[in-house]
Amino acid sequence: MPNSDMADNRFAPKECRRCAHCCQPYFSLYVSAEDEARWQSEGRMDILERLAWERKNIIWKDDQPVHLATGEVALRCHWLKKDPDGTMACLIHATKPKICSDYSPGASELCIQYRKVREYIIGIDLHGTLLAPGEKFADELVVPIARELDRLKSKAVLWLCTGNDLSFVELKVPAPVREMMDGYVLETGCSVSRDQQTEEVITTWEERRTIKELEKLMRSMNFPELNYFAHRLTSISMFTDSPRPFYAKVKRIVDKTAYRDRVLVTYSSVAVDILPRGYDKHRGLSAVSDGRKTIGIADSANDLNLLLRSDYAFAPSNFARELEPVLLREGRKIAELSHLGSLEPNTLALAVAPETKGALEILRFLANHL
């Protein structure tokens, strides 16, 4: 719940951050007769044609605007465009509907500045959480996931947390979901992207040199289990179909080298990762949290500290059960999400569904209870 200072400042004037969170998707629903008359006098046939098209082709169904022909949900107003700096711009700003021009930033929960501070930061894992096996993001889940993230934006800062790099996120995560994110924790916490365009390495030069030397050694070996090495700036990712047994093999090799005390060997549902010791997804999330309470949503061994150190932890049903003894030993109990009526500290809440559907279940719970 917001504290009294937040409540007192909710309605103070705010500077627009151009996030477009207040821009409703069903453009025609918010148009008045006066708007139409103005566009007629201005000769804005492009706006009037779009208005007529929406009224003919978009219906309100299940509390959301749906395209009749495709069944897709409209997430954003047709007249929005994304600028190179990641902010949003209105293509008809000078003559937009009166309801839009009258809206003041911070005036309602439509605006992420409605509260003075978003109290939480949510870190969402990629492989095994948002992405199903085969690095798949089911088409029918894109809009539901984006909608729940949209509901959370006034309450929490949203960050993807992955062992992968920036290019992988751009390739595998659908645009409507990426657009809801405030940033990415990358390479298992060794780098971050605050603007979703550039990657900021947070490891030291000496740590990166150690990783490069070890990577050269790993590449010189013949691993029949290995599918490929992924390009990384400050960590090693070795993709395989059997990450857990391959992890044991790689760790035995690393433990016999001079690097053993300087690196951490871990694994996800798709790869074995080697990174400088002391780094993990929770450390990366904490580095960008600005003191907010942390919420971790993840499933694998390389997510251990995200699930263990976050103030609140959640996992889809495919959670790596070999982590359970560690969590229990550290005082974090396991509970079914369906049995909870609020956020509970020192608990890992498990969704009923696996991967993307489980992530949706968790996001919906958070949107309803934060």
pLDDT tens-digit map of 311-327: 999 999 999 999 999 99
Architecture of domain 120-201+279-369: 3-Layer(aba) Sandwich (3.40)
| pLDDT class of 290 with cuts at 50, 70, 90 | confident
Mean pLDDT on 135-161? 92
The dihedral built from the CA positions of residue 237, 239, 243 and 246, taken in this order, carries a sign that is negative
Partners of 131 in the β-ladder: 127
pLDDT surpassing 70 at residue 266: yes
Instruction: Identify whether the C-beta of residue 19 lies closer than 8 Å to the C-beta of residue 87.
Output: yes
pLDDT surpassing 50 at residue 10: no
Look at residue 122 in the predicted model and tell me its pLDDT. 97
Torsion, Cα 334 336 341 342, to 10 degrees, reads: 40
pLDDT surpassing 70 at residue 152: yes
pLDDT surpassing 70 at residue 140: yes
∠ CA 180-186-191 to the nearest 5 degrees?
120
For the chain, domain boundaries = 4-101, 120-201+279-369, 205-276
Question: Do the domains 205-276 and 120-201+279-369 match in fold?
Answer: no
Look at residue 231 in the predicted model and tell me its pLDDT. 85
Q: What interhelical angle do 33-42 and 45-57 show, nearest 10?
A: 140
From residue 364, alpha-carbon distances to 95, 178, 281, 325 in Å are 36, 17, 23, 28
> What residues have CB less than 8 Å from 209, skipping those under 6 apart?
none
Whether the model clears a pTM of 0.85, i.e. scores above it, the answer is no
CATH 3.30.1370 fits 205-276, yes or no: no
Q: How far apart are the first and last CA of the chain?
A: 8
**Mean pLDDT across the chain:** 89
pLDDT surpassing 50 at residue 5: no
DSSP line for 297-328: E--SGGGHHHHHHSSEEEE-TT--GGGHHHHH
Look at residue 47 in the predicted model and tell me its pLDDT. 92
| pLDDT class of 62 with cuts at 50, 70, 90 | low
Greater confidence, 359 or 1? 359
Mean pLDDT on 192-210? 92
pLDDT surpassing 50 at residue 277: yes
pLDDT surpassing 80 at residue 110: no
Look at residue 60 in the predicted model and tell me its pLDDT. 75
Q: Which one, of 212, 236, 213, lies nearest residue 223 by Cα?
A: 236
